[in-house]
Amino acid sequence: MRIAYQGEIGAFSEAAAQKLDRDAELLPCRSFEEVFTSVDAGPAGYGVLPIENSIGGSIHRNYDLLVEHHLPIVAEVELPVVHQLLALPGATLGNLRRIYSHPQALAQCERFLRTLTGVEIVASYDTAGSAKLVSSERLTDAAAIASARAGDVFGLVPLASAIQDYDDNITRFLVIGRRPFDKAPPDKTTVVFTLPNTPGSLFKALSVFALREVDLTKLESRPIPGRPWEYLFYVDLASARDELPCARALGHMAEFAPMLRVLGSYTSWKTREGLTKGINEVAS
């Protein structure tokens, strides 16, 4: 199995991919778009994409890419995220003039960053890529916010550890691919739809699930490019798409939603963790 992820070696996306399958061959990509292309063109069978963080919120670009591409969601994985402030050996907090990291990581460490003075905060494309920059350029007055593994990979040491704003900092990743990830039964479905701009249209759309007791675990809206003030609505449902209540709810919505598309029906991470735990207990 080959899994593509965005970032350098040591990125949190790499850790998410390893959590899915420790024996998988991992393919680092420069951008989220490259992850989709790698799966679409065939070098990788699956791609791992961060979709939301418990502190920083949604990664909006990946919501947009899910609609632009026709690669279904086939799994999800959750990863606790612990951020380190990494620098070259010998560097000190007092000597820092710049800190590099991905915008999401910077947002997750906002309280810590506010305690620093005279330090420029620089957004970059990747956490591990920021560590690589500090290391390869030998930036003695700079640091990166990244994982402990990134520090090991690029020869950096922590000036401060666990600097995220909250201890329960978790990122949820989606897995895209053309084939089912495994034989685990699906119990979660992600859909996207548009609605007419009429009074009560969103209430009507959500009621098709409420009336059938299909639980919504996530609701996200995104602008439709080229159509100002019109929106796409993304919904996560705690149900497989083929379960009768969910199937009937989606059929009902299709009667009035101008566009309705199922982005994937897959096994939730909570269920997958439980299955893995049960297998390990039997094996032991």
Give yes or no: 271 in active site.
Answer: no
Beta-strand relationship, 98-101 and 142-146: parallel
Single out the catalytic residue among 173, 181, 193, 233.
173
CB 263 within 8 A of CB 193: no
3-state per-residue secondary structure call for the chain: CEEEEECCCCCHHHHHHHHHCCCCEEEEECCHHHHHHHHHHCCCCEEEEEEEECCCEECHHHHHHHHHCCCCEEEEEEEECCCEEEECCCCCHHHCCEEEECHHHHHHCHHHHHCCCCCEEEECCCHHHHHHHHHHCCCCCEEEEECHHHHHHHCCEEEEECCCCCCCCEEEEEEEECCCCCCCCCCEEEEEEECCCCCCHHHHHHHHHHCCCCCEEEEEEEEECCEEEEEEEEEEECCCCCCHHHHHHHHHHHCCCCEEEEEEEEECHHHHHHHHHHHHHHHC
Structure tokens at 30: 């420069």
- Give the position of tokens 């201890």: 167
> Residue 165's closest CA among 98, 111, 89?
111
Catalytic residue among 12, 36, 171, 193: 171
- What's the CA angle centered on 40, arms 37 and 43, to 5 degrees? 80
Residue 173 catalytic? yes
- Active-site residues: which are they? 171, 173
